[in-house]
């Protein structure tokens, strides 16, 4: 899957602007990793040496306006959780978004006493980023950090553009629950697996349907 980028000739300076934002977003990702490790009672620099050979990718996305009824067959991007998409070097992953219209997440709304699962619209706030926890980070923390189901539906009446940075770690990094995520009441939920093997498994499941979902 690795390969050279194909850059548009217009608008002028697009490549420079895109790469400048990419490197700035990667720096944000590294800071967030340090915050996550501190929250998990790990040394702040625990993941520094596990992101030396990471392949981090960023996508520019366009969703045309939608007028059809909302259903699972007619959406900009169907319901899913992020895992990782670019072997061989991906890791306990977060996704950093900058977007211009509502992004629906599936979860519990605290305003409802029954805590029913429902779609909750995340409305963009100017000048802010959305950080989404992905499956590998959920596995690494034994689900202390959740990987939310989300989808992309554009009901704004105008084209929607977003940029998503998928920030990971090295492919050989072994994903197993951190000590703070395991207790006698909270047993490990997942097998130990390397980042690269897990990503390959998910890609095969998604595209070739040869591996059952984990």
Q: Who's near 9: CB < 8 A, 6+ residues apart?
A: none
pLDDT on residue 92: 45
Q: What is each CA distance from 72 to 6, 46, 75, 98, 147, in whole angstroms?
A: 31, 40, 6, 24, 20
Q: Has residue 58 got a pLDDT over 80?
A: yes
212 versus 54: the higher-pLDDT residue is: 54
Q: Has residue 101 got a pLDDT over 70?
A: no
**What is the mean predicted confidence (pLDDT) over 29-43?**
89
pLDDT on residue 1: 53
pLDDT on residue 208: 64
Q: Has residue 191 got a pLDDT over 50?
A: yes
pTM of the model: 0.73
pLDDT digits (tens, 9 = 90+) for 159-170: 888 888 887 778
Distance CA 186, CA 147 (A): 18
pLDDT on residue 16: 94
**What is the mean predicted confidence (pLDDT) over 59-88?**
63
Q: Has residue 108 got a pLDDT over 60?
A: no
What string of DSSP letters covers 32-58?
HHHHHHHHTTS-TTTTGGGSTT---EE
151 versus 10: the higher-pLDDT residue is: 10
**What is the mean predicted confidence (pLDDT) over 41-50?**
88
Spatial contact of 201 and 87, defined as CB atoms under 8 Å apart: no
Backbone angles phi, psi at 94, to 5 degrees: -125, 155
pLDDT on residue 76: 63
Residue 89 pLDDT grade (very low, low, confident, very high; cuts 50, 70, 90): very low
User: What's the mean per-residue pLDDT of the chain?
Assistant: 75
């Amino acid at each position: 899957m690795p390969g050279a980028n194909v850059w548009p000739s217009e608008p002028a300076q697009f490549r420079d602007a895109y790469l400048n934002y990419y490197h700035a977003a990667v720096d944000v990702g590294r800071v967030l990793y340090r915050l996550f490790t501190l929250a998990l009672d790990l040394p702040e620099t625990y993941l520094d040496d596990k992101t030396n050979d990471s392949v981090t990718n960023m996508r520019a996305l366009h969703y045309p306006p939608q007028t059809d009824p909302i259903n699972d067959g007619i959406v900009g991007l169907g319901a899913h959780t992020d895992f990782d998409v670019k072997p061989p070097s991906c890791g306990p992953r977060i996704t950093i978004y900058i977007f211009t219209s509502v992004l629906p997440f599936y979860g519990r709304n605290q305003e409802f006493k029954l805590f029913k699962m429902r779609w909750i619209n995340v409305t963009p706030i100017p000048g802010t980023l959305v950080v989404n926890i992905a499956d590998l980070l959920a596995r690494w923390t034994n689900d202390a950090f959740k990987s939310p189901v989300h989808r992309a539906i554009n009901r704004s009446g105008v084209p929607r553009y977003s940029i998503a940075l998928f920030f990971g770690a090295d492919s050989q990094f072994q994903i197993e629950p951190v000590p703070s995520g395991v207790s006698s009441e909270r047993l490990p939920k997942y097998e130990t697996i390397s980042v690269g093997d897990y990503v390959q498994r998910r890609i095969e499941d998604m595209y070739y349907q040869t591996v059952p979902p984990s």
